[in-house]
Structure 1
Amino acid sequence: MSGLTGVVACETSICSIEEGTLRYRGYTIDDLAYKASFEEIIYLLWYGRLPNRLELIALKQDLTESAVLPPKIYDLLRLYAPWGNAMAKLRTCVSFLTHFDDEVMDHSFAADHRKAVRIMARMAAIVAAIERIRTDLEPIEPDAIKFSSLAEMFLWLLKGEKPEPIAVKAMDLCLVLHAEHELNASTFASRVTVSTMSDIYSGIVSAIGTLKGALHGNANEQVANMLEEIGDIGRVEEYIAAKIANQERIMGFGHRVYKNGDPRAKHLKALAKELGEYSGDTRWYDMSEKIERIVYESKGLRPNVDFYSASVYTYLGIPRDLFTLIFATSRTSGWMAHILEQHDNNKLIRPRAKYIGKKHQEWLPVEER
């Protein structure tokens, strides 16, 4: 079947999408969105249950302590041109981390979980370092500051100052909503890689390389480009009408799995409205809300997770080409959960292909071709 649509490739207890409802380990995303912190989501995805208070404190401390990057990562990032592709930088840095981990080929349960914490924390630190180094700013060492959460740590390392509580709340919610999404393309890539008993880092690199593709990971960046191109709410109707008339794709709408709307979108819509009102500039939210209404009335399509996340990240002052890197930072929690599950009961993933080429060809000597 084209694109393996509808094909079941594995069994998992991590995430389900049934009848339009997204669940992490049985908890609906609506229940988790404003009740769970991202650290609680990480623990839930990796261990199959919510942490108690002491376990949550320990995980937060482990993440903060593990976020310190080897100095050579900074040296590597300084070799890149400032305008170099940010996802390519992230992919290479995660691969480079392999050389600084003595447990890289230890597939035991304990070692896998220690590596999971290190990679999870360092993803956030790498993304922040990419931005600071390319703008001629010194990276901030995370061990010098006491952080309340991974979301706060990321924003602090990125901006160089303590973020406002509303910004931390917004980032934490984005991390929760993007954390896991069943067997999407990048998750499948990570499971295939580690099913060969390759190392965890290779699994994450495979996932990042897959997420880098325009059909998977950078839709929210394209939504932001669209909003900037429109520029003003008065131009929305004309712009979208032209897109529809020319049968051009409107980014941020529709989903391969959700036919009646992405359950994550409404949470990001509410967050975009809150951030717009807090900043005193609702232009991005207003344009997005009008686009949503027109597209639904014209095409019957509802927004997906990428549509309003573009406005949220813009209100947070995050550079546009980092949007997908934040997605990758969040989704590392889900990728890692699937990698750990794959290692727990591993079998090499080796599907077959249906041959549709020519058959019964006869060999001809080169003189007769």
Structure 2
Amino acid sequence: MTDQIKELIKAAKERAVKETDSEPEPALTSAVDWPVDCKVGLGLEGAVACETTIGYVNGSKGWLIYRGLDCFELSEFSTFEETSYLLIFGKLPTQKELDEFKAKLGKYRVLTQEEWDAVNALPLGKGHPMSDLRSAVSVLGLLDPTSEDTSVEAETEVAIKLIAKLPVITGIVARTRHGEKPLQANPDLSLAADLVRMMSGNEPTEEDARVMDVCLILHADHGMNASTFTSMVVNSSLSDMYSSIVAGIGSLKGPLHGGANEAVLKTLEEIGSPDNVDAWYKKAREQKRKVMGFGHRVYKAYDPRARVLHPLAELLSKRD
């Protein structure tokens, strides 16, 4: 099935190219000459806050680019570990660099006993899952003796630690909320495979691990979105990396950002059956409710992430 996954991603890119051929190419530019004149609208729309070579979103063409590589190519050929290295260090790693990076992620993924006890001592499941995640990251910062070192080298290392540890925290939160025993990390697995295992409690199939890998790649960066901007504002005051990420998670929780997908799921659960759609929609219109899941603030073409994830979700739904 992994070959089939690759073919589905390849087909998704071909459709994207064909359907957006008339749209302008991504406006990748050279260095910005500061200060920049810009018209700022409500909610800082149109504001130019910084320049970056990391991520680029072209809304009219429906492209998402990391360090010059489009998300379709990375989804088809890369892994989350390799993509993370690309985003952090600005280049694809050699095999030696990738092996060392994966080993470091595996080492950091195993929580120390102090970290494990502290995270599991939190009142997980009492509030929103993102609140659990936010609180756990704050606890990790309290326990990290390097957290107050704001040098580039130290902050980069903290970023790598968090990339490694957040899947473990996610597994702990998910299983605790379902009344199941949390699982410690297995550093011998890929990050994606281990995330599937720590959430489900089952050894992941190759297909499950690959689909999770693709999901993580597609959500690794999205330009200057609300949570990234929030984290950067905190970091710009020379606060520590943990504080920046905690703030970013708080922003991501909102229903107009990462919480939008949760709102869609709640809508589907509320509708219940395809037979109820017409009646539900009529009532929603009468109540002037916002129907989440349609359209995107940036993408005017098909969201490239959805182009990939839709056929993969359909593929998994047909399994026994």
1:12-38 CA-to-partner distances (Å, cap 9, x unmatched) read 111112343221111112222222211
Total equivalences in the alignment = 277
SS of the residue 2:47 aligns to: coil
Determine the C-alpha separation between the residues in 1 that align with 2:277 and 2:132: 35
1:77–1:89 CA contact under 8 A, matched in 2: no
Assess if the C-alpha contact under 8 Å between 1:78 and 1:133 holds in 2: no
Question: Is 1:276 the equivalent of 2:317?
Answer: yes
Question: Is 2:296 aligned against 1:252?
Answer: no
Contact 1:219 1:252 in 2 (8 A): yes
The structure whose Rg is larger is 1
Whole-Å separation in 1 of the counterparts to 2:252 and 2:311 = 26
1:219 CA displacement? 1.3
SS across alignment from 1:264? helix
Give the Å deviation of 1:132.
2.6
Q: SS of the counterpart of 1:204?
A: helix
* Correspondence for 2:145: 102
Tell me, in whole angstroms, the C-alpha distance in 1 between the residues paired with 2:182 and 2:48.
43
Task: Please report how far the alpha carbon of residue 197 of structure 1 lies from its aligned counterpart in structure 2 after TM superposition.
Answer: 0.9
Q: Deviations over 1:64-85 (max 9, x none)?
A: 1101224344344334163422
2:173 equivalent in structure 1: 130
- 2:7 aligned partner: none
SS at match of 2:298: coil
Structure 2: give runs of 5+ residues left out of the alignment. Answer: 1-40
Q: CA deviation at 1:4?
A: 0.9
Find 1:42's aligned residue among 64, 79, 84. 84
Q: 1:78, 1:134 within 8 Å by CA — same for their partners in 2?
A: no
**2:72 pairs with 1:26:** no
Match of 1:349 in 2: none
2:57 corresponds in structure 1 to: 17
**Structure 2 counterpart of 1:156:** 197
Aligned to 2:156: 113
The 3-state SS of whatever aligns with 1:95 is helix
- 1:253-288 deviations in Å (ceiling 9; x for gaps): 111111122121111111111011114xxxxxxxxx
* Other-structure match for 2:110: 68
One-letter code aligned to 2:100: A
- C-alpha distance after superposition, 1:185-235 (max 9, x if no partner): 110011111111111111101101111122111111121222222222333
Describe how 1:1-369 pairs up with structure 2 within 5 A.
1-18=41-58, 19-20=60-61, 21-73=63-115, 74-80=117-123, 82-143=125-186, 146-147=188-189, 149-240=190-281, 242-244=283-285, 247-279=288-320
The 10-residue stretch of structure 1 (160-169 or 120-129) with the greater mean CA deviation from structure 2: 160-169
Aligned partner of residue 295 in structure 2, secondary structure: coil
CA distance in structure 1 between the partners assigned to 2:96 and 2:195 by the alignment: 23
Residue by residue, what CA displacement relative to the aligned partner does 1:140-183 show, whole Å, maximum 9, x if unpaired?
Answer: 2225x621x11111111222221122211221111111111110
Residues 1:96 and 1:122: Cα distance change in structure 2 (over 3 Å): same
Greater alpha carbon shift after TM alignment, 158-167 vs 190-199: 158-167
Structure 1 unmatched ranges of 5 or more = 280-369
Distance 2:122 2:161 in 1: 24
Which TM-score applies when normalising by structure 1? 0.70
Task: Note the aligned Cα RMSD (angstroms).
Answer: 2.0
TM-score by length of 2: 0.80
User: What SS does the aligned partner of 1:34 have?
Assistant: helix
Letter in 2 for 1:13: T
State the alpha-carbon separation in 2 of the partners of residues 14 and 142 from structure 1: 29
Q: Secondary structure at the match of 1:59?
A: helix
Cα distance in 2 for residues equivalent to 1:132 and 1:245: 39
Q: Distance in 2 between matches of 1:30 and 1:241?
A: 38
8 Å CA contact retained: 2:192, 2:209: yes
